[in-house]
Structure 1
Amino acid sequence: MKAFYGDLRLGILGGGQLGRMLIQQAVNYNVTVKILDPDREAPCRKLCDEFIVGSLNDYETVYNFGKKVDLLTIEIEKVNVDALEQLEKEGVLVYPQPRVIRLIQDKGLQKQFFKENDIPTAEFQVISSPEQLKDSTIPFPYIQKLRRDGYDGKGVYKVVDESYLEKAFTEPSLIERWIDFEKEIAVIVARNENGDIETFPMVEMEFNPEANLVEFLISPSTLPFAVQQEAADIAKKIAESLKIVGLLAVEMFLDKQGKILVNELAPRPHNSGHQTIEGNVVSQFEQHLRAIFDQPLGNTDSLSNAIMINVLGEQGYEGPAIYQGIEKVMKCAGVYIHLYGKALTKPFRKMGHVTIVNTDREKAIETARYVQETLKVIS
């Protein structure tokens, strides 16, 4: 592979905020970055060396884009994997590997992978037709998930009892037992081509109940060490089993009995790792680049307590974004604001995030609550 700090051309499929933050790190390594995204106003458009407007799902578009780079990575899983497999055959490095992306694109295949590799997860059943829902062996209530294209809470439906079945998804899906969980937790793990593996400290997450998006994240966790170690071991086992190159976010539940169950995977930088930019020795974005460049992985230790808040578009507002209260928030010590360059807001759209760092955990949480109440995206 060409030296990453020289003339290597990195291509990223997707020009959203994750790509934007990858570019911000790649600049430090002198990496040339090309972006493909269907939205000509995508957050990456002004930061990359070359921005190409085109479909991520069209074979020819993805293939032709990939032929112009030396190494291809993703910031979103919904991409044309057939094109990536052909590029890989022709010598273009694709990380994470196309086979990994194909597996993770399909939640049914994900669940089957967990079962085959003894990864703890909720009891599930793959559903191919609405009729199969009526014959389910999983008792009410349960969660129905579309096998493909679900994200940020979309494609997820809670079936409480038989009366909910008429509004259930008709597309191929899976159902899984409802977990009465104590906490939602996550571990981000990185693996390079050499087989080196590092995990970031486990984080605790709170979700917006309406949008089902991560809204509040606390790092590092204060749950018992044994829980944190088990979560890290599970993440490492998954990364090893997949032989993935790059970053992998592993979202998990901790149930009321103290058992950890894996929910879903994301083979890329993830919302549950944004706090690493200020809160850890190495950020998730640098770690992803280190992994795909097959360089030594960085130290993932926490530097301080770090709380991350997603900045979402307020309900009832749609149009040019106005960040109400931003001046008040910027007066607070230890507050780091990241805006994503999205000109237009709409309800629950991810417009940015804020990280609050403080050696005093309770003070960090108190400041984070203030930021959450004060900073609003309206139009």
Structure 2
Amino acid sequence: MSLSFHHLLTLYPQRAAANAAALQKFIISRVGDVCVLSAVLLLQHHYGTFYLPEMMAGGGAGQSLALQSASVLLAIAALLKCAQLPVHGWLLRVMEAPTPVSALLHAGIINLGGFLWLRLYPVFDGFTPGHGILLVVGGVTAVVAALVMMTQSSVKHSLAWSTSAQMGFMLFEIGLGAYTLAFLHLLAHSLYKAHSFLASSRTVVASHLLAGYAGVERVQVINGVLAAVVAAVILWAVPALVEGKLVLGTLLVLACTAAALGIPAWVKAPVRVSLLLCTLMLLPLYSLLHALLSPALGSASNLVLPLAAQVAGLVIVAALAAGSLMILLKPQSRVSQALHHYCCEGLGLDLPLNRVSAALARKTRGLSLSGAKPTNLYKVNPLSSGERS
């Protein structure tokens, strides 16, 4: 899939930026492939077979250095395939491809890292170093990418950062052992992100409708607080909804809060109450979907999160909530303005990867078209008036 997708990224071979982006994606994908193949060999060394059902029947078969190393390699492969920090830059560069190609990438191919772990997690015995890597790196990527997404003026770049954040959340959930939630996340993201790209032009119309938006009003804050309190009480009374996991419960409370904050302030009281009830319906809806999808994945009851992993998960969720609320409620504050300034450029986290890719591009000499300088490989030329129209 990755090799075939490379030809779609170079659909316009005369565009230097598109070729440079395809090269960067090619390098990252090949490193990920090496990690996957190395992990497969280590799993065969541990289990004595390449047959996946036999590995799963072993139920982890105890811990070994080979098994732990395989989990680390698979985690690195997932981070590379899912555009996680600090190798996320390739996902932004491939925006040079046509929008239908972007829809294919963001709705399908980008999910391969999560799919890999959802397929192979039964071969590991409990919490592994690979789970820890996914939890920390995926969680940090989710926080950073979500904040950067809120500062982008380009529709496609905003969607690209959104994808990176969503993939971070999915890997974060896998690191927590919430495999069914990650599976549900994968399916939902594939559906909505494909639609988002194909209907991205509508965002321009919506932005004009929100041109006079003055921020969150007091009644919306009240809605959010009320939804958060009720959701927290429900999960405290019925912890089985989130398998007794505090971090997952916190995520669901935040989801209900965000949905309630989005209720317009001008709606009438009966409509507002109805919408608040709809936001709280996220809890039983998640429980229902969990019950429907969990038989496809099997049980993961042997994964017990260590205390450090639980603390790390809560810190990541708290950082996401604090950053988002600060930008949402106090957009004109000094801290929010400073955060906006740095986030507009993605915090510069993709610069090391860009430098390496640019150096390789100069060596290949195949990306400089008609005397173009290598330093321009990552600058998108402004469209002419005819192209804009």
TM-score bracket relative to the smaller structure: under 0.3
TM norm structure 1? 0.24
TM norm structure 2? 0.24
Larger radius of gyration, structure 1 or 2?
2
Q: Which has the higher contact order (CA 8 A, sep 6+)?
A: 2
Query: Higher strand proportion, which one?
Result: 1
Query: Higher helix proportion, which one?
Result: 2
